[in-house]
Structure 1
């Protein structure tokens, strides 16, 4: 019997995944990852991880599989939390869930599992794994989950071939309602449990509250830039190469306070992200205000009225070589090469047609249509059909 260690999170997805593995004849062991217990930054009195680990234990008991808790909070703080604060301080918006998978679940956790004699690590992600032969080598594919509504391949966009080789995703062929149905039939305690919201590690805490623990509030101004402002209507220069054009189209507009009017105050530019509408607390505008840019050095938030404001839209983004990742290294582009793909810049966004352009310094993604709120620090991921082949941090 092959041994599989599954990350039991105390949710319905991983519970059903564990059951399916049993049905497939694996020896299954459940491990609960405790990623956070720094009491200095729990804002609510609720202790979600205790409830979750309890539910995970009850599921393991019901299925008759061994169970234990592993404390990964030290590595978590170092690799995820510190990284997040660092990114926010730079005015970028990181994605803790993507990082959590790359750094914790499929790295630290996977190493522990393999030390415990596991052949595979499994999770309750809605995605699938494929295997193909190419030039005599086995190549692993990261495929979208069958449930379009729940596909979570995006969150695994930073996985490597080595990590995929040792991974199993038992519920990838199922839809969420089917998973719930199985849990009901088995009478699992998690069958009707709501999906967890909030940060992937501290449960029910809202991100700004968490950030305020480390990044001290400092008052700054909110500036509204009118949509007819000249910076949006500049004449397009002549380009001598495609790369010059891509560089121009992906550029960051250099906003200045005198391009608009001061409409309010905020408590710290690093708490805000591009495309954000809530939390600005500025009234009296015809259409709601959206954040079009933040300047953390000067502590200024630039906003525009309405979701069609030109400051929100771009067609091209750039990823540096250092932050470029190919899930399928055999498909990696060489300088000067291009690739037609479907891409997304955030989870749950529908896939959009795009062309990848590999240049000396990195990779440009040129979308067919304008994209709203392309945000530095977030991950862009690209697909060929239903296979996620690469990703990178938007720079």
Structure 2
């Protein structure tokens, strides 16, 4: 019997994952990760991790599997929380969920599981793992979940071959309603439980409150830039090389206060992200205002009216070599190579046609259609059909 350690989070997905593995004849152990101590920043006075670990324990009891809790809050603070503060301070928008999978669940947690004699680690992610043989070597594939509505392959876009080799995703072939049905049939306490919305494992945290712990409020101005502004009409069309064109398409516009009019005040540019609409507190515009850029150095937020504002739209992005990652290292592009793929720049986005261009300093992702609110610090992931083959941080 192979031993599998399941990251039991106290939710319905990991509960059903544990049950399915047991049905398949594995020796299953449930492990709950505690990643946060500070209850002063959760939204309500309930303590979410305590409820979750309790639910996880009740599920383990019901399934008749051993259960224990492991405290990873120190590593979580170091690898996720500090990284987030650092990114926000730089004016970038991090994705803690992607990082949490790479750094915590499939690294720190996986090492603990392997030390406990596990052959595999399993989670309740909606994705699938494939195995193919190439040149006599086994290669692992990260495939989208069968449920289009819940596919979570994007969140695992930073996993490596070594991590995939030791991972199992038991619910990837199921839809969310099917998972709930199984949990209901088994009468599991998590059957009707809502999906968690908080930061990965921290619980119900209000992001601004959380950021305010370290990033001090600092009053600045909100500037509205008109769609008609000359910077948007000055369109270049002739280029000396493909790379020059890509550089132009992915360029960052250099906004200055005198390009628009001051329409309000804010408490810190580092609390806002590109594409954000809520929380600006500015009314009276014909169309809603969206953040089109933030300048954390000068502490200015630039906004524009409507989601078709040219300040939100771009056709290409750049990923530097340091932040480029291939799940399928055998498909890695060499200098000057291109590859047609499907790509997304956020979890819920439907896949978009794009072309990868490998250059000396990194890689350009050029989309067929304009993309809205490409935020630096977020992840772009690219696929061939339903297989995620690589990802990178938008720079």
Task: Show the counterpart of 1:340.
Answer: 340
- Asked whether 1:182 is paired with 2:188, we answer no
| CA distance in structure 2 between the partners assigned to 1:18 and 1:297 by the alignment | 48
- Asked whether 1:48 is paired with 2:48, we answer yes
Task: Show the counterpart of 1:365.
Answer: 365
Whether the 8 Å CA contact 1:379–1:393 is kept in 2: the answer is: yes
| CA distance in structure 2 between the partners assigned to 1:235 and 1:183 by the alignment | 56
Task: Show the counterpart of 2:230.
Answer: 230
Whether the 8 Å CA contact 2:197–2:203 is kept in 1: the answer is: yes
Task: Show the counterpart of 1:307.
Answer: 307
Q: What TM-score do you get using the length of structure 2 for normalisation?
A: 0.99
Task: Show the counterpart of 1:32.
Answer: 32
Provide the alpha-carbon RMSD of the alignment. 0.8
Which runs of structure 2 are paired with 1:1-395 in the superposition (5 Å)?
A: 1-39=1-39, 41-42=41-42, 44-236=44-236, 238-395=238-395
The count of aligned residue pairs is: 395
Whether the 8 Å CA contact 1:43–1:210 is kept in 2: the answer is: no
| CA distance in structure 1 between the partners assigned to 2:198 and 2:304 by the alignment | 27
Structure 1 residue 214, shift from structure 2 partner: 1.1
| CA distance in structure 2 between the partners assigned to 1:119 and 1:329 by the alignment | 23
| CA distance in structure 1 between the partners assigned to 2:375 and 2:235 by the alignment | 25
Uncovered stretches (5+) of structure 2, i.e. residues with no partner: none
| CA distance in structure 2 between the partners assigned to 1:392 and 1:46 by the alignment | 36
Moved over 3 A (4+): 39-44
SS at match of 1:98: helix
SS at match of 1:239: coil
Whether the 8 Å CA contact 1:198–1:207 is kept in 2: the answer is: no
| CA distance in structure 1 between the partners assigned to 2:17 and 2:264 by the alignment | 49
Structure 1 residue 40, shift from structure 2 partner: 5.1
Q: What TM-score do you get using the length of structure 1 for normalisation?
A: 0.99
| CA distance in structure 1 between the partners assigned to 2:75 and 2:323 by the alignment | 21
Spell out, residue by residue over 1:84-123, the C-alpha distance to the aligned partner (whole angstroms, 9 max, x if none): 0000000000000000000000000000000000000000
Spell out, residue by residue over 1:99-153, the C-alpha distance to the aligned partner (whole angstroms, 9 max, x if none): 0000000000000000000000000000000000000000000000000000000
| CA distance in structure 2 between the partners assigned to 1:244 and 1:219 by the alignment | 38
Structure 1 residue 39, shift from structure 2 partner: 4.0
Structure 1 residue 237, shift from structure 2 partner: 5.1
| CA distance in structure 2 between the partners assigned to 1:323 and 1:70 by the alignment | 30
| CA distance in structure 1 between the partners assigned to 2:14 and 2:146 by the alignment | 16
Uncovered stretches (5+) of structure 1, i.e. residues with no partner: none
